[in-house]
Structures are given as structure tokens and as C-alpha cells.
């Protein structure tokens, strides 16, 4: 479909504002958004598991990888989206703006797609940088807007499918050589790839630790924090400083028809000690591995006589907050690497890492590695 | 097939809008709408015109230097845009030094300098080979029998 682009639209003479460039950028952008949507859903349903949904505890690094793809991939999508919008920009000024009801509906969905895409990337970047200038709760707004973007994207793909087939299948019409000193199509693709690569290069080290030294523009650096591990929520912010340092601290295990247990720190130290190497994999995309030691959750729950398929609720000393408790399903609590950790790197946990005792489990979002444990409730 | 895809797309949009309204306490629909529209306005009427103005400036450069200059400007500009929240540092917390632990302003300057040097090297090489070509052309002319 050849659009009549008049007035301002007509003055965009660059060969970059054409169907073929737009189609290729669209294909790459569509793939990026699909990956972000799928990894985003994984993250959402890991943090808010439905009753019918039981996540596996292996592979250990599954969430680390999916969330790394979501965040670092999302960052690398910024240049792609900006290039795509740049190429499509003259269409904003098409004349007449609305030719028919069908055209109005089509443009309405494009508006949702453009606004939603920008919204997701802008709020995502601000969130990983801990800057919240918006009035809404980030996860809720980012999550629901993703459905709008995906729906509008599907409609856009259907509308553009024939144009994409037409332009991608054939050889480029114009010259690909020197475009009067400007960027050629191939040059544009190279610049977009270069920008995406550059953005990824200076951030990916926040989750791929061998590249940590390159992560000069990442909001986290593995190895930086108390006991060489980054902290998300501090004990002060969680308002647990007094209760966590109380020498009378006990971990309660209760609920269902089981024998209730009340374990002191000395009791936990007296039980079989296990050491695991597991990452904290944050929803914000960073991750860092550490060596933890403590008691297997399995050993404690078997001692209490919990049903093997029970769902456990892990509760923190925190007086409130969205992540005061977290659900622990049977694949996770049976996993021999799931610990009630009391040591980090061979020393007692730092207060900000959950002293006296925290949960550490494989394949689990960091916010659900509940710190400052108070109670395991069997439901 | 096409109708089914339209229906799926429209249904997903409805799910998103419905979810935003159903969880209004978290999503603050009016604040959401302001940001949803605001990012488009900021992109279409601030960012793009600013880039157009910069691009117009760059067209003053000799044609053969324009491509490396544009490439460096685009890559550097996007890196600066994406890392702007880090440089501004509103997310820093004195209670949690592991959050935004790096000197981002300095790091961005270093990264931008590397990009500028790379772009400058390409321009320098082009200028050098253009001069070499001119010199070679002169020699050819000189050697031509008169």
C-alpha cells in the first residue's frame, strides 16, 4: 500500500524512510518484543505463581537467564525502537491523517503500539536505575501495558504482512552504495547493531560476571556490596534491625497437622551443614553468585513431618511490604540446594543479607530469596 | 486466519486496559495515561526534532566524513540517553552503596571519548587516503607524456 505523504511528510526525502528498511527493523523489533513478553511473563508468574502452576527448581540459572534476556535485551532494543520510529516518522504527518474508518482504527492501534513500546522501555530503564518519577507501581503498570503492546503488535504485523513479504523478499531497489554522503540502508543497520551492541556491552557484565569490568554503565556491579554481594533491600529499609539482632530470635515451623518446631540459631548451627554456590538473580536483571552455607529446608520440613507436596509460605521478620512472604513449592523445598542459609562466604550473614537466617534456592527471583526469616508455614 | 489474529490482538489490548483499570490502586490509570501519552509527545515533538536539528548540522560536514560522524553521533547519543538516569543518580541511596555504585558521569565521558576517537580515526583514515589518492593522481598526471 503506497501512502500519500504530503506536506511535512513529503520533505523526508532520505532513502532510509522506506518500506524495506522499515520491514527489516520491524522484524527484528518484533522478535525483541516477543522475547521480552515471554521472559516478562515467566518473571511475573514466577513471582505470582498461580495455584495450578508449580515451577521447577532446575535448571539452577533458568530465571537468571530469562531475566537477563529481558533486561539486557530490553536495553539493546532501545536503539532498534528509536531507529524504527525514525524510519516511520514521516507517516506521523501523512495527509489526510485519517482516510476512512478502517484507516482510523489502524492508526489507533499504531498509536497504542508506539506509546506502549516507548512506555515499556522508558519505565523499564528508569526502574532498573531505581528512579521512580511516575505515580504508578512499576511492576503492575509495566505488566499490564505489555498486553496492550503485544495485542497492538499482532494487529500491526497482520496489517503489514503483505508489505513485509513484498519488500523483504526482493533485492533493494535503490543504490546501497554512497547515498549522497548520508547513511545507506546497510549503514543504518550497522549503526543500529553497533548501538545495540554498545548498550549491551556496557551493561551485560552486571549479570555475566566475567564481563563485570566492562559494565561501566550498569546499575549494579557483581562483587560490590557487603560480603562482596549487592544488596537490594537493606535491613534499615525493611525495618528489621532490632528484631533480626535479637538474641532470642527463633525460626518457627508451623501449620497444617505437623509438629511445630522452634529453632534457635544454635539449633540451626547444630544441624548437618551444607554448602551451595547459588546466584541472587534480581528481577532488575543483575545477578551475582555466592557461596552459602546452612541447613537444608528439606531436612527441617521432614523433621517437622510436612506433607511431601505441601506448599510452604516463607515469612520474614519484616513488618510489611510486598515481599514480606514468599511461596515455596515442593520442587524447590525438596531440592538439596535449597537452604536456610546462615553463612555467606564462610562468615555469618551480614545484616543486609538477611542475618540471622535467609532462604536461598536455585531458579528463583531474588525478591523471593526471603531474608530475615521468622517462620515457615505449611499450607 | 486474519480475523482470528485481529481478534487475538484486540483481546490482548482489552486484557491490558482491563488489567490497568482493575488494579487502579497500583496502576493509577490517570498517571499511567499521562506517561503513556507523555512518552510519545516527548519522542515525536522533542527528541526527533532535536535529532533532526543535529542531523542538519552534520550535513555541513564534507560528504565522505558524514557517515562516520553520524554513526558516532547516533551510537554515542543513544548510550548517553540510556544511561542518563544513572548519570543523574536519583536512584542512589546512602543506606545502600551497592545500588548505583559506579561514577557514571566519568564512565559515560570515557565511553563517549572512545566512540569519538573511533569515529575520528575513520574520518582521519578517509582524509588520509583521499589525500593519497589526490597525490597519486597528480603524479600520474605528471608522468603522462606531454
Q: What is the pLDDT of residues B47-84, one digit of tens each?
A: 999 999 998 998 888 888 888 999 999 999 999 999 99
pLDDT of amino acid A6: 46
Please calculate the CA angle A54-A59-A60 and round it to the nearest 5 degrees: 100
Rounded CA separation A350/A342 (Å): 9
Rounded CA separation B111/B79 (Å): 9
DSSP conformation class of B43: I
Rounded CA separation A244/A120 (Å): 37
Q: Any alpha helices (H) in A60-99, and if so which ranges?
A: 62-92
pLDDT of amino acid A176: 47
Determine how β-strand A373-378 pairs with β-strand A250-254.
parallel
Cβ–Cβ of B48/A85 closer than 8 Å? yes
Distance from CA of A257 to the nearest CA of B (A): 36
Distance from CA of A129 to the nearest CA of B (A): 6
Cβ–Cβ of A145/B36 closer than 8 Å? yes
Cβ–Cβ of A194/B75 closer than 8 Å? yes
Chain A residues in contact with B90 by the CB 8 A cut-off are: 129-131, 133
Cβ–Cβ of A183/B64 closer than 8 Å? no
pLDDT of amino acid A11: 56
**Parts of chain A with a pLDDT under 70:** 1-17, 170-182
Cβ–Cβ of B51/A86 closer than 8 Å? yes
pLDDT of amino acid B135: 85
Distance from CA of A199 to the nearest CA of B (A): 6
Q: Which of B10, B26, B90 sits opposite A137 (nearest CB)?
A: B26
- Cα four-point dihedral sign A133, A137, A143, A146: negative
C-alpha cell at B118: 573511533
Instruction: Return the residue of B nearest to A160 by Cα.
Output: B2
Amino acid at each position: 500500500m503506497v501512502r500519500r505523504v504530503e506536506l511535512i511528510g513529503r520533505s523526508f526525502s532520505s532513502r532510509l524512510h522506506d518500506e524495506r528498511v522499515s520491514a527489516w527493523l520491524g522484524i527484528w523489533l518484533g522478535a525483541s518484543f516477543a522475547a521480552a513478553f515471554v521472559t516478562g511473563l515467566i518473571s511475573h508468574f514466577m513471582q505470582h505463581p498461580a495455584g495450578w502452576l508449580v515451577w521447577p527448581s532446575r535448571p539452577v540459572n533458568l530465571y537468571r537467564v530469562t531475566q537477563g534476556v529481558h533486561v539486557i535485551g530490553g536495553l539493546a532494543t532501545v536503539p532498534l525502537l528509536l531507529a524504527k520510529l525514525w524510519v516511520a516518522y514521516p507517516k506521523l504527518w501523512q495527509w489526510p491523517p485519517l482516510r476512512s474508518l478502517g484507516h482510523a482504527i489502524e492508526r489507533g492501534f499504531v498509536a497504542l503500539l508506539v506509546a506502549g513500546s516507548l512506555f515499556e522501555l522508558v519505565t523499564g530503564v528508569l526502574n532498573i536505575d531505581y528512579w521512580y518519577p511516575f505515580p504508578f507501581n512499576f511492576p503492575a503498570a509495566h505488566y499490564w501495558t505489555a498486553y496492550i503492546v503485544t495485542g497492538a503488535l499482532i494487529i500491526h504485523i497482520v496489517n503489514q504482512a503483505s508489505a513485509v513479504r513484498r519488500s523483504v523478499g526482493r533485492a533493494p531497489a535503490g543504490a546501497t552504495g554512497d547515498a549522497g554522503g548520508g547513511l545507506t540502508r546497510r549503514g543504518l543497520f550497522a549503526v543500529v547493531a553497533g548501538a545495540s551492541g554498545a548498550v549491551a556491552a556496557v551493561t551485560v557484565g552486571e549479570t555475566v560476571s566475567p564481563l563485570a569490568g566492562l559494565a561501566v554503565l550498569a546499575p549494579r556491579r557483581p562483587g560490590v556490596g557487603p560480603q562482596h554481594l549487592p544488596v537490594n533491600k537493606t535491613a534499615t529499609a525493611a525495618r528489621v534491625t532490632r528484631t533480626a539482632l535479637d538474641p532470642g530470635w527463633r525460626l518457627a515451623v508451623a501449620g497444617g497437622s505437623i509438629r511445630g518446631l522452634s529453632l534457635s540459631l544454635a539449633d540451626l548451627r547444630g544441624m548437618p551443614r551444607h554448602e551451595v554456590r547459588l546466584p541472587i538473580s534480581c528481577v532488575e536483571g543483575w545477578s551475582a553468585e555466592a557461596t552459602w552455607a546452612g541447613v537444608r529446608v528439606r531436612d527441617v520440613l521432614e523433621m517437622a513431618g510436612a506433607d511431601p507436596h505441601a506448599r510452604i509460605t516463607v515469612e520474614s521478620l519484616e513488618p510489611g511490604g510486598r515481599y514480606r512472604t514468599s511461596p515455596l513449592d515442593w520442587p524447590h523445598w525438596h531440592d538439596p540446594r535449597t537452604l536456610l542459609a546462615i553463612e555467606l562466604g564462610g562468615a555469618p550473614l551480614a545484616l543486609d543479607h538477611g542475618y540471622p537466617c535467609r532462604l536461598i534456592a536455585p531458579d528463583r527471583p531474588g525478591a523471593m530469596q526471603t531474608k530475615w526469616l521468622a517462620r515457615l508455614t505449611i499450607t | 486466519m486474519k480475523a482470528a489474529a485481529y481478534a487475538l490482538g484486540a483481546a490482548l489490548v482489552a486484557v491490558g486496559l482491563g488489567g490497568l483499570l482493575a488494579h487502579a490502586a497500583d496502576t493509577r490509570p490517570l498517571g499511567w495515561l499521562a506517561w503513556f501519552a507523555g512518552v510519545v509527545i516527548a519522542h515525536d515533538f522533542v527528541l526527533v526534532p532535536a535529532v533532526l536539528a543535529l542531523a542538519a548540522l552534520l550535513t555541513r560536514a564534507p560528504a565522505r566524513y558524514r557517515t562516520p560522524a553520524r554513526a558516532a553521533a547516533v551510537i554515542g547519543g543513544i548510550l548517553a540517553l540510556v544511561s542518563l538516569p544513572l548519570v543523574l543518580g536519583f536512584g542512589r541511596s546512602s543506606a545502600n552503596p551497592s545500588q548505583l555504585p559506579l561514577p557514571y558521569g566519568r564512565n559515560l565521558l570515557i565511553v563517549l571519548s572512545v566512540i569519538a576517537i573511533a569515529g575520528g580515526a575513520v574520518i582521519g583514515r578517509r582524509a588520509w587516503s583521499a589525500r593519497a589518492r589526490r597525490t597519486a593522481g597528480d603524479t600520474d598526471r605528471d608522468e603522462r607524456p606531454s
